[in-house]
Amino acid sequence: MIATLRDGFRAPLRPRWQSLALAALFGVLFAAGQAPLGLWWIALPALAASIWFASAERWRASTIWIGFATGFGYALAAMFWIVEPFMVEADVYGWMAPFALVLMAAGMGVFWAIGYGLGAYAGQGPRSRALGIALGMAASDALRSYVFTGFPWVLVGHIWIGSPVAQAAAFVGPLGLSLITMLIASAPAMTRGMRMPAALGIVGAALVVLVGLWLGGVARLNAPVAPRPEPITLRLVQPNAPQNLKWLPEYRMKFFQRLLDLTKADPAPGQPKPDLIVWPETAVPFLLDRPMGGLEMSTEAANGIPLAMGVQRSQGSRYFNSLAVISPDDQIEALYDKSHLVPFGEYMPFGDTLAKIGITAFAAQVGNGYSAGPGEKLLNLGKLGHVAPLICYEAIFPQDLRGFAQRPDWILQVTNDAWFGTLSGPYQHFAQARLRAIEQGLPLARDANTGVTAMVDAKGRITASLGLDKMGKLDVELPPSLPPTLYSKLGDAPFIALIVAALALLSIFARISIDPTGRRS
């Protein structure tokens, strides 16, 4: 493959620039399927067009180029929000923004190139290459979910979040959704050269699968759910502290006072008193181990109600991004240290060495970056049950919810999405958190500094929310849990094994019978 890539930079293996531009346009259109637009009916035909285009290429290197261009255009359109963190301190970091966007898009393009390349190698002719690209892109999504600590943001199957089709994630998870999406999109390209009846049969089968998933999702959404034996009410507090002001000395106490005021507010008439109050990620202007009266002020505002706060803490020379549950008498009842940190944002690889030359993590507020906690940990909140804590970025990893010794009763995510701006980033982050609820069959309470703060039921539906750039609180009842889903029991391993096996079988059979059309390289 390396030789193919090297040769691929030279014509005719590299497609014409016009062809690459067209492929990038397909990628841009595919991005319309992601939040906040969610236009899957534009995304799916665009993906089908890219596969049709790529599978018709004569040379393997050309197929890889088409994959790279599609992924590059896709990332540019879907993840342009990545420039927002650099604009928080634009005078210092703003110059990096365009480089970050282009490099990130190129990196995403490499994963798409790998996916299309696997398809090109597994298949032999246009039809088997189309099937191979579908399998290869599912493999690429799996690769992106795990290598280098993983980055499963805007996976192919995420275009269904918000539609009934997303309910399939309870059975097949995000990689299964990606595989199904790719197989449906590849159907038209697999009909190339077929007689009309056979072609209609394949496309019709793909449509039947899509309609079946849609109707099955509707049925699952409409199925009754047993109520929670004892109601639990949460107060989710959203202080709306802009990132460029949040840590300025003249604003710290102002935003802290917002938290206190929202916390001590009376419930609406007729509404019960909250059982737990939640503050977002890194909400307070003090360290947990050096509160300087901050804990007493917090519990006084909570007025006898336990308080879960996002807080930084130190231990020797190490600093942690944590979630602490504080009892009414100022004691730490439960503590979780974020374990899946954001590379370059919250920690730097070889950070201790790089700190000596002034290179530190981008988003960490203390030290040279955060240290990772020991891993997944349930918080025992007594009558409120066992809670799976997720801090910000951790909600994009379905595997992080499968490492507990026992099944959680619900999921709690605290986050600070002010870094992501106000366009697509916060909505994509929220959409992925909703998918975690579907996969696990568990309700998810989400508390965000600037939004979106929300309660999500075990089927991914939003029961209450507070939008972006709004200050306020939500007093909401925690929805009931569902029985363990198939995906919560099996995880990704069966689908990764299935994808690998299918690619191997395709590679064998395409060479001996199914699609014997040869190619030059």
Pairing of strands 276-278, 307-315: parallel
**Residue 229 CB burial class (10 angstroms; 0-12, 13-18, ≥19):** exposed
**Residues assigned a catalytic role:** 281, 338, 392
Strand partners, 151: none
CB 359 within 8 A of CB 387: no
How far apart, in whole angstroms, are the C-alpha atoms of residue 42 and residue 46? 6
Q: Are residues 363 and 85 in contact, defined by beta-carbon separation less than 8 angstroms?
A: yes
Q: Which of 8, 52, 4, 3 is nearest to 26 (CA)?
A: 52
| Contact status, residue 314 vs residue 274, Cβ threshold 8 Å | no
SS3 411: strand
Q: Which residues of 10-27 are buried (b: 16+ CB within 10 A; e: fewer)?
A: eeebbbeeebbebbbbbb
Instruction: Evaluate whether 411 touches 397 at the Cβ level (below 8 Å).
Output: no
Alpha-carbon gap, residue 77 to 42, rounded angstroms: 14
Alpha-carbon torsion 18, 19, 22, 27, what sign? negative
Distances (CA, A) of 234 to 24, 68, 308, 339, 462: 45, 45, 10, 25, 15
